[in-house]
Structure 1
Amino acid sequence: MSIRNRESLVKLPRGEVLTKALEEALAAADPYTAVASSVKRRGDVVEVGGKAVEVGGGVHVVGFGKASGKMAEALVDLLGDLVRGGVVITPTGGGRAGPIELVKGDHPIPKDNTLSASHRLVEYLEGVGEGDLVFVVISGGGSALFELPEEGIQLEDIAHVSGELMRRGADIVELNAVRKRLSRVKGGKLLKFIKARHVASLIVSDVVGDRLDTIASGPTAPDGTTREFAIRVLKKYGLWEELPTRIRAVIESGGDTVKEGDPVLAKVWNIIVANNLTSLRSAGGYLKGVGYSPLILTSMLEGEAREAGRVLASVAKSVVYHGLPGRPPLALLAGGETVVTVRGGGRGGRNQELCLSFALAIRGMRNISAACMGTDGVDGNSPAAGAVVDGGVVEEAEARGLDPLEYLNNNDSYTFFNHLGRDIITGYTGTNVNDVFIAVIDPT
């Protein structure tokens, strides 16, 4: 996985260092490698995350998410003839991974592809026996790619509610707490469709803090949220009173999610095989090798993207002015997932908006450069994954007649960075471990 337009980005101040560090972060999030390090085969015994299971029947693979296709490929290569088949839903779909079907779902809003693919996956599980071993490969995007609505709910209802919550700035925990109340397969409920006594969920985490009940809405994990919390979320964002009575009725009194202690959980073990912190550490290792002292600030960055940009800029400026929390040459790393409350009509996403805010805050500080990128290769409604900035961006833009603040206020960060040739293009990466931010600071 690499940055497609790296040739132009490496010409920017400290651009070579930033692009290479980002590529190291992407490599660490490779789902094939992550699965291969967690699963082993010895004859008919499969070891998963330190637990050994003798396969009496066969191995079946189901799953959903941006990284799940590569995860399925890894299992086929590792386990060979033990794998009897499966159904895995990805944003691209099409083809097979050995005996496993790869089918297309919809992302970020579930539509007809998601519905038909989800029915196909559940139908496949009907043929799985008690003595079989089922792998569920889960990764970011799974909430939209795999969905079967609760009785009384239509897929369009879930799509509308999900879209409105995202547009109004709900974070992933809030969003998925609501989704679980509208779904027959989220919040641990997928386990009720699996007869096998052994279920191993391999998870590439795209959730801040790696909450199992939030990644892809926790289809195989006990739910730590409540219906009361979901209702508070809908009220917080002004949606509760807008919902039809039938939808409110399902949320208030429909079938609830699987809770800790439920007997159905005895057959499953959930294993996180890749996450944001792993990627930050890998990028940090590269930066150390080229002369920067790496400092991971957090892998749990949240909040409004533009506000997070200002906070990260304040840390970078503190390094320059006070040598705190470290002295240059220093690399600051952070990861997580911010949000954008959309007020304008432009194109962009949280990574580019964070970078634009950061650039405004470090104006004139030529010894600071930074980049922010979504590891899935998609940032908001733009074709970019993120952007590269430095202390000269604002003056560069103004010299071209561009007003950075105007673009920020219109949520039009992609257009801004595209004009300057500073947008990061990766294309679909096939993985997702949230966002990665890197700032490198040289001595003045």
Structure 2
Amino acid sequence: MTEDKNTSFLSNLLNVSIEAAKPNFVALNENFPKSVKGRTIVIGAGKASGLMAKSFEDAANLYWSAEEFSRVEGRVITRYGHAISCERIKVTEAAHPVPDDMGEVGVQQILDLLKTLKSDDQVICLFSGGGSALMALPADGVTMEDKKSINKQLLASGATIHEMNCVRRHLSKIKGGGLLRYCGDAKVSTYLVSDVTGDDPSVIASGPTLPDSTTCKDALEVIDRFKIEISGKIRQKLLNGELETLKSGNPIFDRTSEPVILASSGDMLKAAEWYSRLKGVNPIILSSSIEGEAKEVGASMAKIALEMAKMRNDHAGPLLLLSGGETTVSGANSGRGGRNTEFLLSFANAVDGEPGVYAIAVDSDGIDGSEETAGGIYTPEMISEAKTLNLSLSNILKSHNSAVFFEKLGALIKSGPTRTNVNDFRAILLT
């Protein structure tokens, strides 16, 4: 793919937007947590938790005395390749999206640290998307192999993050508020980077410190609707409510403060809006919470783009259609590609080389599904290039090989881990 002013604009737009979606404790100013007489224990999990820990330390160094900072210690778990060096907080790595043994080790190390809590200590919790898999501690009667199997099935089912985390909460000792059982009498504060549509704090990382409004019955409904195979033992535990999570009104939540969302998809889109205006492009934010099958969303977005393209002469300058959220890919047991390249390939197939239509779609964490790429970029010239290479967009789409398509055309985006995670970022440019 040859870079021109349009693809350069989209690349720069992406960089600005990702930077705006990174956790920033310094920006909290007077709302930064106060130090306490005892220790400040920092724990957490998620693809952004390493950067969250570093950002917390930077702010603590700014707002607290050296003596207060010396009483900070902690441990967070992030995905392999996403760690960042911190001074007082240990950052470890584990597997995502399917848990591995290092995740179990990391959780046990966190629990061992919490066992040392005293009443004059405080706990700072840092959670982001990915925390569910990285902080896996099965409930009694549920094995780690059960968790891995159910997680794999959920990921391939097309279930939304809300539905997946409903199940995960009810199979865990520490999700759905369960982590508070290990925090003694210490004050607990929770800070989040949101990767869920609607930014519901209880869904992010499956809400380890927050009340859960869903029930065992809800979890079973998701399991049965998506035909997830579970053992008879787990089914019985769900049926009799033995795996129920903690609910609002439980006195255990009295020692917690309101959760703070440090970054979300909305922050990313607002930054894109600002940057595009600066460059003379007219932005329209369609939504920050679009869900659905990636290929269906791509086709629908293409229809919107083609309609808007007909009207672009009514506007002074190019148009930019912005959206966030999280799409899904069902039935992709083989093939190379994530939800963003699948969205983009479906979009390309429907737009079919319409002049002046460009698009970019990436996962904000820098990893699109299981691919070590963030997503891709589309230009109208790609349709003729694909024909030259005998690439059938529809056939590639059916086989879920979208990453192969953009790879052959040199249009994959390889950002590496961004150390934040606020879901997908899509921008359609109409010149």
TM bracket, shorter-chain basis = over 0.9
Partner of 2:78: 90
The answer to whether 1:170 aligns with 2:159 is yes
Counterpart position of 2:64: none
Give distance in 2, aligned partners of 1:13 and 1:396.
19
1:112-152 deviation digits (Å, cap 9, x = unpaired) = 01111101101101111121121101111100000111111
Structure 1 residues 414 and 13 mapped into 2: Cα distance closer, same or farther (>3 Å)? farther
Tell me the residue number matched to 1:364.
353
CA distance in 2, matches of 1:79, 1:220: 22
Evaluate the alpha carbon distance shift between residue 22 and residue 95 of structure 1 in structure 2; reply closer, same or farther with a 3 A threshold: closer
Is the 1:134–1:196 contact (alpha carbons within 8 Å) kept by the matching residues of 2? Answer: no
Q: Does 1:243 align with 2:255?
A: no
Unpaired runs of at least 5, structure 1: 1-7, 41-46
Q: In structure 2, which of residues 183, 201, 204 is the aligned counterpart of residue 212 of structure 1?
A: 201
Matched, 1:318 2:307: yes
Q: Structure 1 residues 22 and 366, CA, compared in 2 at 3 Å: closer, same or farther?
A: same
| Cα 1:364/1:75, change in 2 over 3 Å | closer
Q: How does 1:322-361 map to 2 (within 5 A)?
A: 322-323=311-312, 329-343=318-332, 345-361=334-350
Identity among equivalent positions (%) equals 35
Tell me how far 1:70 sits from its aligned partner: 1.3
Per the alignment, residue 38 of structure 1 pairs with 28
> SS in structure 2 opposite 1:433?
coil
2:184 is matched with 195
1:71 aligns with 2:63: no
Whole-Å separation in 1 of the counterparts to 2:314 and 2:157: 35
2:327 is paired with a residue whose SS is coil
- Assess if the C-alpha contact under 8 Å between 2:25 and 2:262 holds in 1: yes
Shift in Å at residue 193 of structure 1?
A: 0.8
Task: Decide which of 136, 140, 143 is 1:147's aligned counterpart.
Answer: 136
TM-score, normalisation: structure 2: 0.93
1:260 maps to 248
Q: Distance in 2 between matches of 1:12 and 1:401?
A: 25
Q: Distance in 2 between matches of 1:210 and 1:188?
A: 17
Q: Which moved more, 1:397-406 or 1:330-339?
A: 397-406
Cα offsets for 1:216-269 (capped at 9, x unmatched): 001111112111111110110112xx3211121232232411111111112222
CA distance in 2, matches of 1:119, 1:265: 23
Structure 2 residue runs without a partner (length 5+):
62-66
- For residues 204 and 374 of structure 1, the distance between their equivalents in structure 2, rounded to whole angstroms, comes to 14
Deviation at residue 315 of structure 1 after TM alignment: 1.2
Q: For each residue in 1:271-295, what CA deviation from the matched residue of structure 2 results, as whole angstroms up to 9, or x when unmatched?
A: 0010001001101111111111111
Extract structure 1 runs of 4+ deviating beyond 6 A.
324-327
Q: Distance in 1 between matches of 2:178 and 2:237?
A: 16
| Counterpart residue number, 1:44 | none
Give the drift of 1:312.
1.1
SS of aligned partner of 1:365: coil
SS of the residue aligned with 2:328?
coil
Length, aligned pairs only: 421
Q: Aligned-pair RMSD on alpha carbons?
A: 1.9
Segment of structure 1 superposing worse, 19-28 or 386-395: 386-395
1:278 to 258, 267, 278: 267
Letter in 2 for 1:110: P
Give yes or no for contact 1:181–1:254 (8 Å, CA) kept in 2.
no
Deviates more, 1:75-84 or 1:12-21: 75-84
Superposed CA deviations along residues 185-222 of structure 1, whole A, max 9, x for unmatched, are 00111111112442111100011110111100011111
Q: In structure 1, what residue type is equivalent to 2:46? A: G
2:43–2:123 contact (8 Å) kept in structure 1:
yes
Residue 284 of structure 2: SS of its match in structure 1? strand
Q: TM (normalized to structure 1)?
A: 0.91
